[in-house]
Structure 1
């Protein structure tokens, strides 16, 4: 009898030890999160950084952020991920430069047992913990459709593209092609397409050259982001052209683009930098702190009915797009203050 009792106690001890070892870990001190941005020059990325530091958990000291500038180089981002892992960060959020080259960040984080959240741009893998993005195919479609409709359904367009190999360039391009395909074959002609690397400064001379090369033939300008669309507007104005003669669209909803919408110069499809970043922080914290964590950002209320928290366990969260209009421009600008 004593032998059986001892065996029962031993078995119970093993079960209890197993249960304790598999309980959700408690976290002492602030949660350390590394945010790997592909580059810090563009306003949109700066808006993402601002949203990160405005996150309630960061303000309270619950979260300790380290923001890395990837300098528009995927290899730099991969090296920064190694640094973040080596220095004991609890989670990594990456805004990747390259659709394929930055898969290494996900691989390294998974090997280290660290949650990795992909935000804004996408990676050619499904091995990340989660991604908090906006559907770039839909964004490209919305801007392509806006330009074509403003042209009356036919005409010649030029396309200013993002960095080659990035998911934004690839998927927004797919969306633009989808919009074009809805019209009769040959009704929309692409005269030129070239990368300007998300840069207003790079887009300006490219557009100046195209204006000379295709004098009087360009009807529409599709910039895969606002900065490049704004560069095209500068080129038109600097060469004595009338912006109202062109249908122009971009993506992001940066401040200058919203003002340009108010002035009737372009269409902008706003990508919610705050929603992407604060959503990523909420999801990262859920995976670090466990099921008792409740989201701290108000974006889930903002997009109620369009965006579900799902206990922070969805594989992908799509932050909705907003078409900037003359009617909503002032309200969107007010949110920047």
Structure 2
């Protein structure tokens, strides 16, 4: 914490000194090694970051050290070194799903789709309960083979993990994307039976409902999950579409208060204030979002974790996500009118 304070105050060398003192005092602390790595990495000292991680691996680092090592190489564009580190890491930690995920993503980036598929499938043998691995395999199958293959993957995923709402939601969305509205509705009804208290499913159910039924659906959702930020945000969006500006603002603010770590809700609130708020209100949302340092969110993470955005500040990620949301909304409108 001392090092982080110095770093945030702009004194990188003082932060470095504190961490050197720390690992002289506690040489076995992986937290200190990783903090030192992060300091160098975020300050564009990739060689120093690499050296620290190499030492940490020599000292028998945990799976996190191997993961960070591969991330550095990914960012520097060294695919072969990234693959070597992932392969080595997986020999040591075969049940750490993130390494399998990164291996699959590496192959996808390089256009080696059959190898990516193999990485996800091998990962699932080791980690059958990893939702991210199932979802990555499903997305890949959709790109390679279309709807029938996605259905097969997600059906198997749900058999293994019946109460994982993300897997149900992925299946519902796949049907919707391919125009099978009836199938999507049937799946949603089953999903809510299996996972009756899932906020993400209820939020999706509100959005899928025909306009006249949305109010009823949102009151059902609220009864089941009144403290779930996804439901709160979905209700906020309904007020927003109905031009009830004050109510929308209240509900969207509740969502970010309940889940400040989820960037998606900050993006919704910021987009709302860009449309309906004053400059001060917009600045205030931005300030609070930067202070919250969101790390999660279904829409936030693909942007914040993209290689080209890896050192971008929160403010830049928030703005990029708002642009992406705007494009999606426009595409959805265009589809309706076709």
* Fold shared by both chains (TM-score > 0.5): no
Q: TM-score, normalised by structure 2?
A: 0.26
Higher helix residue share: 2
Which of 1 and 2 has higher RCO (CA within 8 Å, sep 6+)?
A: 1
Larger radius of gyration: 1
Q: TM-score normalized by structure 1?
A: 0.26
